[in-house]
Amino acid sequence: MPDRRIVLLVTSPRLPAGLLTAAAWDVVRQHPVFTATESEQSAVLRQSGVPVSVVEPDPQRLLDALAEHEAVVWLAGPAGDQDFARHLGLRLTREPDLAELELMYGSWDPPGARLLDAVAVMDRLVSPGGDPWKRAQNHRTLAPYMLEEAYEAYDAIEAGDLSALREELGDVLLQVVLHARLAEELPDGAAWGIDDVAGVLVEKMVRRNPHVFAGVEAADIEEITENWERIKKAEKSRDSILDGIALSQPALALAAKILQRVERAGLDVPLPAGDDLGSALLRLVAEARAAGADPEAEVRRATLDYAEDVRSAEQRIVRPRE
C-alpha cells in the first residue's frame, strides 16, 4: 500500500457550511487543503484557522504536494468535482504506487434534502426570467391539474405499478410546490409559502397523533381513529358533521363519505325512498358500505372490465380492405 494518500472530501451543499463530522475536521486540520473554487465551505474553514489553497483541478498538483506531506485534502465543490475525481482516480489506477485515494464524506444530505432542490427549482421557474407558462398561472387555472395528477397517482396504485407511482407522486408534489410558490406573490399581507404549508402539516400531525407525540394511550386503531376525529372536530369548530367534506369529489365517493359521517355520528336519517335513479343509486351505495365494499372502487373495477371487453370486441371487427 502507498505511504501517502489523497483525501477527496465531499460535503452536502444542502447543509450549513462548517457542519462537518469530527473525522472531517480532524483531516482538514492535520493536512493541507486544496480546492478548485472559493465556496462557503472554504470560507468557513479559513475562519476556523484552516488554510485552503485555490488551485487548478490538476491531479499532478496534488501529487506534487505529497512530496512534502503524508496526505493532502481536496475539498470538492458543491457539484462534487466529478470530472476531476474521475481523472484523479484513473491516474492513481494506472500508477497505484503514487498514492492512495480516500473518499471521505464530511457531511451527508439529510432525509428530504431533495425537497429543498424542488423548492429552489420551482422558485427559479416562477421568478422573473423563468417559465412564462408557470408565471401566468393562478390557483384556479391550476386546479384541474391537481385533480388530474391525483387521479394518475391513483391509477398507478390500482395498477400496482410502484415505479409509476413514484413518478406520479412527483407530479402531485409539483402541484403543491407550484401553488405554494404562487401564493408568495399574494398581495396585502396574504402571502404564504411552502414553509407555511409544511408547518401547518407538521403541527396537525403532532396534534392529531397524541398516542405518538404526547404519550396518550390508545388500545387499538379504532380508538386512534376516534381520537383523530375528536381532535379534528375541536380544531374546526364545525356546525355540521358534513362540514369539511369535499363536495367536488365523484358522486359515489361523495355519497359514501356522507353515509360514513352519518354512521359515525350515530344519526338515524332515513335514505330517500323515491324511485328516481339518484335515490336508487344512493341506496345501492349504502348497501355496498354495509357489505364492507367501496362503491367507487367497485364501479371503477366493473367499468375497467367493461372497457377491456370493448377493446376485445374492437379487435374482432373485420375491417374492410382499403
Fold observed for domain 5-105: Cobalt-precorrin-4 Transmethylase; domain 1 (3.40.1010)
170 pLDDT more than 80: yes
25 pLDDT more than 80: yes
Residue 276 is predicted with a pLDDT of 94
Give the CATH number of domain 113-192.
Answer: 1.10.287.1080
Residue 240 is predicted with a pLDDT of 87
Highest mean pLDDT among 3-12, 90-99, 166-175, 183-192: 166-175
The torsion defined by the Cα of 194, 195, 199 and 201, in degrees rounded to 10, comes to 20
* Separation of alpha carbons 236 and 228, rounded Å: 12
Residue count (the chain): 322
CB 36 within 8 A of CB 84: yes
Residue 104 φ/ψ, nearest 5 degrees:
-125, 130
In whole angstroms, what separates CA 2 from the centre of its chain?
Answer: 44
167-179 residues labelled b (16+ CB within 10 A) or e (exposed): ebbeebebbbbbb
Helix (H, G, I), strand (E, B) or coil at 30: helix
Residue 174 is predicted with a pLDDT of 98
Give the tens place of pLDDT for each residue, 73-101: 999 988 778 899 999 999 999 999 999 99
Residue ranges of domains in the chain? 5-105, 113-192, 251-314
The confidence band for 322, taking pLDDT boundaries of 50, 70 and 90, is low
Residue 320 is predicted with a pLDDT of 56
Show the cell assigned to 283. Answer: 341506496
Least confident among 145-154, 155-164, 221-230: 221-230
* Separation of alpha carbons 257 and 289, rounded Å: 10
Percentage above 70 pLDDT, the chain: 98
Within 10 A of 39 (CB to CB), how many other CB atoms are there? 19
- The mean of the pLDDT values for the chain is 92
CA distances from 84 to 35, 63, 160, 220 (A): 11, 14, 42, 56
254-263: average pLDDT: 94
Contacting residues for 92 by C-beta, under 8 A, at least 6 apart: 6, 59, 98, 99, 100, 101
* Separation of alpha carbons 218 and 232, rounded Å: 17
End-to-end CA, the chain: 76
Residue 2 φ/ψ, nearest 5 degrees:
-60, 150
